[in-house]
Amino acid sequence: MGTIQALVSDYERDKLRLNPEMTVRLAQALGVSTDQLLGLQPTKSVARQPSRKVLRRLEQIENLPRRDQDALLRTIDAFLSKSAA
């Protein structure tokens, strides 16, 4: 956000009031609208993002030959169906 932690803490503890510029910056940093931040609009539930570790592995899998990809996906499917049972 380009601000120091102590300043953010003061906003959290209601020691300071958010000015319009800081409201916009905070909303952008949190990935919400200013209306959501101010409680004027309900916040949308955010889907959980995959970890970087998982994304990195998926990228590596995409670079494998198709046959190897299929074998890995069958193995993953087997683990997932076993854990769902």
- Name the residue type at position 57: R
Q: Which of 4, 44, 40 is nearest to 22 (CA)?
A: 4
User: How does DSSP classify residue 33?
Assistant: -
> What pLDDT, on the 0 to 100 scale, is given for residue 70?
92
pLDDT in tens, 23-79: 888 888 888 888 888 888 776 666 677 788 888 888 999 999 999 999 999 998 998
pTM for the whole structure: 0.42
The whole-angstrom separation of Cα 25 and Cα 6 is 16
Q: Which of 11, 40, 16 is nearest to 26 (CA)?
A: 11
Question: Dihedral, CA atoms, 64, 65, 69, 72, nearest 10 degrees?
Answer: -80
